[in-house]
Chains A and B, each alone.
Chain A
Amino acid sequence: MSAVATTPRFKDNVHDALTDARLQGALVHARNFTHRRADAADRLPEFEALRDSARAIKDHTLAHLDLYLEAYERKVRESGGQVHFAQDADEALRIIIDLCKSLGARSVTKGKSMISEEIGLNEALERAGIEAVETDLGEYIIQLRGETPSHIIAPAIHVTKQDIERDFRKAHRELPPNRDLSQPEQLLGEARGVLRAKFLAADVGVTGANFLVAETGTSIIVTNQGDGDLTQILPRAHIVIASLEKIVPTLEDAAQLLRVLARSATGQDAAVYTTFSTGPRRPDDPDGPSDHHVVLLDNGRSSMLGGEFEDMLRCIRCGACMNHCPVYQAIGGHAYGWVYPGPMGAVLTPSLIGVAEGGQLPNASTLCGRCESVCPVRIPLPKMMRHWREREFERRLSPAPLRYGLGFWGFFAKRPTLYRLTTDLAARAMHLAGRSKGRFSWAPLAGGWTKYRDLAAPERSTFQSQWRAKSGAVK
């Protein structure tokens, strides 16, 4: 069972987010990402060329995905690992839980993984009586709070320091109640201590993968904390859960993508830990997992190939699109209602959970294009959001006021003379009515707009009539 979506209630979610003062305070921190990315990009003269290269690698791999998957699978087997295929979330959960049971696992640590969020792994493990511990600090915090990530690389960006202190005091009851947790360093130190014990006690470690290398059968994870590393080297078994499109052909191809990933995500030239894992521990290795499994998840992706949303499969989950999105910055990630927020979520969510459930998200965009301008693999996100809007409209899933409104507008738009006449009259009337202040603080049918900001009063005449007057003068 996939993570449960509240996406159909998107409008209510947005309303709640906009009026949540605590959330609005926390979201200020999300704005730091933009200048860091810009600085990192400026520091590397080859950055734009690397983006082109990254896109080409992903396009090439997707066009040959069946063959690269075969090559990857062969190499994993050669290195002593096992590959499992899962068509959907339920199959993936069954495979992972069966593996955990066969290994006699009681405790599972997890490195940060969005795919495990997508399939709802923690809940499934708990239902099976297996403890699941998120070890990325942000993921750990939201696990304590019973929440989902609100950002794909900064899952707890919606949480304040004071919230974390409260959550830690509630969860870590074995620690002295009068300890000082007022500083971020103290919170980090406490989490490090608590989670260190969990790392050492775990039977199985589950990580995601940023890339899977067909050439060597290697899975690559990129982290700053070391959560994914302690997760995979300490327990008896390492299970990688990754979606099909994470495949890249060679180590060289991975290097191209790594060069744009960290810079686009956090503005680092390289993440602290880029870890290449191949199979289980070797005969002479003194540490590392004895079992190595890879679960490859489809969950709707193979159907996106060859279609108008194929470009979305290039996504490397850096989060740059949401970091630069005015809508995300206003409402945060939870309002989107499923696993993936921001522009990439608005495109991917309807693909994965259906347009009936997720179709509202592509409307939450000004189509300003900032997401596409910073995407390391140049995904045309605004274009794809328009595609979804068209589908939603065609399938009559848009809200009634929107459909009737568009029908009303369409009636006039198809009759240019009538359109010009009506808009001329409307512009004049509004100009007259608003001439004293130059703006309206209230207007009929525009209450949703004027509640938060004024509506500017128009010029005396429409653009079209001004244009006609001007071009007449030129001639």
Chain B
Amino acid sequence: MSAREAIFANIRRSLGVTGAEAPRRFEVETRLAKAPAGVVPLRGQGDVETRVATFKAEAERAQASVADVASLSGVPAEVARFLRDNNCPATLRMGSDERLAAMPWSETSLEVLCGPSDGHDLNAVSAAFAGIAETGTLALVSGAENPTTLNFLPDNHIVALRRDDIVADYESAFGRLRTAYGKGGAPRTLNLITGPSRSGDIEQTLLLGAHGPRRLHIIVVAG
């Protein structure tokens, strides 16, 4: 008997089932198909104004910084300002996201590189799939548009997030994911990111910038 067969046999013996019971199968299939929501906190709920306000407050609570710009074309100037104010070099890496590509980067003095990171980039910009108001969390999906390495290797991670993409809760973000990838589908990686990387492993002292970015800057785009 293979390990797999032995494990299933032992699970079924312990549970006193055969695995062929129609009601059990029906219950499992129904749950997987319907994916019922459980208890959803009120905190993230509300109209778009409220959601944006909650998102910002929660993200800042997790030590991210947040800025507003009026339209996508305002993002490069804000990125340049953020890097300048933090004494960071004027270099930037990004993926092939169309929203980012359409931005007027040439109006800044930033040196822009395209593609995944090999670990030698100090700054990166990504476009978020969604923002989750409840905990000030960003949702980013893998792909050539926004390579996952950009979320973790650079010291400074800057994320553009459209206001309309700020949803109330995790369940709403999953709803959008199903729309984009089909029910039961998923990107290779979905990163939910709440603030910059940190560690409390040295005598429980909270330190930012463990293995991932030392700074997380979120640019909320109104237009």
Contact = CB atoms under 8 A, between A and B. Distances in A.
Given A161-B203, A225-B197, A286-B115, A215 B192 contact: no
A250 B178 CA distance: 12
B148 A66 contact: no
B210 interface: yes
Contact of A270 (B4, B35, B116, B194): B194
B102 interface: no
Chain B contact residues: helix, strand, loop or mixed: loop
B3 A252 contact: no
A271 interface: yes
A29 B204 contact: yes
A324 to B, nearest CB: 16
Interface string B6-31: 11101110111101000011011001
Nearest to B58: A269
A389 B144 CA distance: 57
Contact of A285 (B12, B134, B143): B143
Contacts, number: 267
Interface in A205-262: 214-218, 224-227, 229-230, 233-234, 244, 249-253, 255-256, 258-259
Given A53-B39, A252-B35, A279-B188, A63 B198 contact: no
Given A65-B15, A272-B193, A135 B211 contact: yes
Contact of A138 (B6, B14, B144, B201): B201
A257 B206 CA distance: 24
A214 B196 CA distance: 30
B151 to A, nearest CB: 7
Contact of A192 (B19, B144, B189, B210): B210
Contacts of A26: 203
A44 interface: yes
A27 to B, nearest CB: 11
Contacts of A282: 142-143, 187-188
A66 to B, nearest CB: 5
A85 B7 contact: yes
B103 interface: no
A287 B3 contact: no
A225 B211 contact: yes
Given A60-B31, A305-B15, 19 more contacts: A44-B41, A53-B38, A64-B24, A86-B3, A137-B202, A161-B203, A200-B119, A214-B32, A215-B32, A225-B212, A226-B212, A253-B35, A255-B170, A269-B62, A271-B194, A273-B192, A273-B212, A285-B144, A287-B117
20 contacts: A29-B204, A67-B28, A71-B32, A75-B184, A137-B201, A218-B186, A224-B199, A230-B152, A233-B149, A249-B32, A252-B37, A272-B195, A273-B191, A278-B186, A278-B188, A279-B188, A281-B188, A296-B7, A302-B14, A303-B14
Interface of A: 26, 29-30, 32, 44-46, 49-50, 53, 57, 60, 63-69, 71, 75, 79, 85-87, 91, 135-138, 141, 154-157, 160-161, 164, 184-185, 187-188, 192, 195-196, 199-200, 214-218, 224-227, 229-230, 233-234, 244, 249-253, 255-256, 258-259, 266, 268-282, 284-288, 296, 298, 302-307
